[in-house]
Amino acid sequence: MSNIGTWMQRTAQDWLVLTQLTHQNATSVGIVMALQFGPHMLLLPVTGFAADHLNRRKLLLATQAAMGVLALGLGLLTLSGHVQLWHVYIFAFLLGCATAFDSPARQTFVGDLVPDEDLSNAVGLNSTSFNAARMIGPAVAGVLIAVVGTGWVFVLNAASFLAVIGSLNLMRVSELRPRERAVRTRGSFVEGFRYVWRRPDLKAALFMLFLVGTFGLNFPIFISTMSVGVFHAGSREYGLLTSVMAIGTVAGALLAAGRARPRLELLAGSAALFGAGCLLAAVMPTYGWFGLALVVIGVASQTFTTTTNTTVQLSTEPQMRGRVMAILLAIALGGTPIGAPIVGWVADVMGPRWALGIGGLAGLAAAAVGIYARKIPRPA
């Protein structure tokens, strides 16, 4: 329920900025993305520490409640007719601060729910839930924007957080599998970086994620600018494109969930397919063919991100997982403040097709890193 609301808000927020608060300015969408994902990097010293040392269920209760309040605030501001671009910037930054604490806790909380032998499947199924909502949320948002406006989309998202808060409260805490907590010592944050630095396999996977996450996973810019600027579509068609892409992401998540242990070859192969898919989408002549290319991109991107997530979690000691996952999420989402404004500027100056081309090249570069990393000895 909450994931559907989240995808509704993402769609409505991008549409609000692109068509109501600016005149199809992709750079502004990139700035919103930078502000929303930048806190993952800025707050890295404390978010990983929180995920490793605090009660994850209680931490998630706090972050989910904060995200619901922010969605309600933006919704009321939009409904009142007073929303301005700088308001969206502020709410995006505050939401980024909340999700910076929420994401590593939520990712590692999966490990509290299942034993290690089921972790790969659980991560994949968790991604399936998120991306199944991606098929519904944007399409619903596209219709609601046209019928009642963007403000009500934000309000409905705020209400959807009640489902998560209720679920967390109803959990049978005695049946959770809490992992060994990290010992609180000075320099524990730095120790997370030292741990990664001593692991060439982790460094390779995280660098691949940096390339794809920074320049490739800018779908709000790619889809919105292609939809509005190239195919001259409305809000319904824009929402439908995001939902069509979710068909691929659900398929990718299910494929990843079916593997007991991921392999580096799959990581490199999915990065290569992602790059090829972006380049293919960049030259598609019609709205329909572009949608089909998005399915390929969805399969590849979800396979890549889920495999990276599972690879890092399974090869990291339990007491270090929170900090390492915070580093992973900071790279995946914190790279957006670097890549999104650049990709948005390219879309404004050179056109949306060139922006997609940058994403394609990033995927192929990541695949090259993965092929080279096959020679790196792996830990037992």
> Considering the domain boundaries, does residue 38 fall inside one?
yes
Q: What does the pLDDT look like over 254-288, one tens digit per residue?
A: 776 666 566 778 889 999 999 999 999 999 999 99
Within a domain: residue 61? yes
Query: CB count, 10 Å around CB of 163?
Result: 15
Check residue 202 and give its pLDDT. 87
Q: Is residue 303 part of a domain?
A: yes
In a domain, 175, yes or no: no
Is 380's pLDDT higher than 50?
no
The secondary structure of the chain in percent helix, strand, coil, rounded to multiples of 5, reads: 85, 0, 15
Which residues contact residue 233 at a Cβ distance below 8 angstroms, ignoring those fewer than 6 apart? 227, 241, 287
Expressed as residue numbers, the domain containing 41 is 2-170+189-373
Task: Please give the pLDDT value at position 189.
Answer: 61
- The model's confidence at residue 294, banded by pLDDT at 50, 70 and 90, is very high
Task: Compute CA distances 242 → 65, 71, 129, 339, whole Å.
Answer: 26, 20, 16, 20
* pLDDT-based confidence at residue 68 (cuts at 50, 70, 90): very high
Confidence of residue 376 (pLDDT cuts 50, 70, 90): low
List, in order, residues 6 or more apart from 253 with CB less than 8 Å away: 124, 125, 127, 128, 130, 131, 302, 306
Task: Please name which of 122, 57, 113 lies closest in space to residue 259, comparing C-alpha atoms.
Answer: 122
pTM: predicted TM-score of the whole model, two decimal places? 0.70
| Two tokens, residue 53 | 């040392």
Number of domains in the chain: 1
Residues 183, 317: contact at Cβ < 8 Å?
no
CA angle 243, 123, 263 (to 5 degrees): 105
Closest by CA to 51, choosing from 63, 40, 62, 59, is 59
| Largest Cα–Cα separation, the chain | 59
pLDDT at 41: 77
Q: What is the mean pLDDT of residues 32-43?
A: 83
Predicted local distance difference test score (pLDDT) of residue 187: 53
pLDDT-based confidence at residue 89 (cuts at 50, 70, 90): very high
Percentage of the chain with pLDDT > 90?
Answer: 36
> Would 105 be classed as within a structural domain?
yes
| Interior angle at CA 348, CA 21 and CA 30, nearest 5 | 60
**Residue found by looking up tokens 């939902």 in the block:** 243
Query: 184 in a domain, yes or no?
Result: no
Distances in Å between the Cα of 366 and the Cα atoms of 62, 205, 216, 273, 303 are 36, 9, 10, 11, 14
Q: What is the mean pLDDT of the chain?
A: 85
Residue 228, domain CATH: 1.20.1250.20
Q: Whole-angstrom Cα distance, residue 201 to residue 208?
A: 11
229 membership: H or E segment, kind and range: none
Question: Is 309 among the domain residues?
Answer: yes
DSSP string, 38-82: THHHHTHHHHHHHHHHS-HHHHHHHHHHHHHHHHHHHHHHHHTT-
In a domain, 215, yes or no: yes
List of residues 6+ apart from 38 with CB closer than 8 A = 93, 96, 334, 336, 337
